[in-house]
Structure 1
């Protein structure tokens, strides 16, 4: 039996057909008859990467203020930075009037309406505005309250809620106001209307410490890549892509990997790395740890088979690796696991729940 391990952190870079009928349908996958040259495979993968590299999630730090968590939000143009209580149990954004001046923003608009919100721990009231809001470098239009009165919130600059929008209480007419996550999603800046949260306790004995993280558009996890027992990457995001041939790492990570293999060098003709024959027998396994689960490739799995080299435009007698470089990368994505990884595992692509599953093949 194959156990499918859900990995919620990987972007699905795959084209799907129309919804399947009720019964299970199996289709064979065929390798093309025409052998693709190594340099063509590498060039094709880099071209595909150019279309996949737009990051659709982003993370910002969360500040542990001992009894609540804060995130930094910019309000207006130019942005006036405020530290707001991060709250998933409510759905409104409001700021103390002392911490935001709409007259200093070129994009603010007074809606001419008042708001009043009752919380279990206090209450707040004031005027409603719309303005530009910036979180983690992403900007969108948001309706929020500017509080002239607030009780139970001493020492705080305001609050931002990320709960369901039907919890919205900021308008007098009872309409549901989209949360910042809703607006990031509707403006196409994140791929799903989801946030992930990571909290840690304060460890230094103080009253405030930046030790948490909020991820917008999905969830974040620390993945890693190791050569033998040597860690060569602490990656944060990656892609599982059946349309990519190779296994591609960021330039820093691929350099760190091949530093462990004496004499390994980039072959400019193919775009792949070559391994000296004297080192082949000494090669170690490479392990991708994703969502806490280790997926290991043996040397025979990440090397181009010797009997294929000449047919694929390589130099006969030279050993090539399927693991190549993405080049310089500013998107935050650290790897693409293409066909040469997926040939060794069973993969599931769940578009309904936006997740990828990987398991050992039967």
Structure 2
């Protein structure tokens, strides 16, 4: 049976920093909650955590420095939802209130998830959810927030991580796991393949369209060459998420992080690495901590000497060029930085290596490499893009 045409939806960048060092703190708090969530799951099993033949569809998202969001129709009301591979519950009501429709069916269950940088508690409903034109989920479980904290500028979350992350999020039904939107679309036969493609690019402006999410396939126009796949890691706690193994080295100066498990996360802006690895990276670069942003800062001369940072994933070295290792200078003011400052996007995970979650490759990595989360085959694919070697971040602020 012939596949249907893919549905393309645009993504855009939005910076929503509300205070000094906000981005670093947001990412570190999220990392802490990620570790705690997985430890709870390890202790009680996947259903005991206290946190809690078709077509490919491309969904449009918006980056707001700490996240990317997508426009989703819930019932008959559009919502801007944060796209999150690090969680799996979909919910609304953080910004725009939930508007019941003729298709709304309350279940009577209470749902609650804590993210570290925020949380929500509300009630579960079964609702008609439209992710894209032609990708309609008529009976999708979603949460409706009665209370939500830490989600300024978005209406909720579109959770596209592993289904196990939904287990235990129903307070009065803790052994139940919920179908993610990707699971539902696959079960309904709407997708060609059980996978999720993720494409972003560097951006110099707030609200600049710069990405795409593809349900049920990949968009070959967004990457160069072939995808290279690695299996999902079996090392806990990274194994509870979209996790894999990698090592990191700095140019020809040596290892930053020996082979270790970590995760790919669209809900994280920066690249976080274990504290001992972070110290080695800081020593190699000569960077100094900046009190205003919380990031590492380097001089123009140090930038000129900056070497590639290599992420070895499988048999492939994925390089972040010097330009890819710095925050876009045109957006320095949005993070409380100096107009002429140069800030590195590698930050401290705040835990030493060897704990099973030693890195988080966030959006700063995904803006340079195409990724596919192949759920059916328990693997992750990566490829270079037209933007891998872009030299845009170092441009002076406008």
Normalising by structure 2, what TM-score?
0.42
So what's the TM-score if we normalise by structure 1?
A: 0.46
Greater relative CO, 1 or 2 (CA 8 Å, sep 6+): 1
Which has the larger Rg? Answer: 1
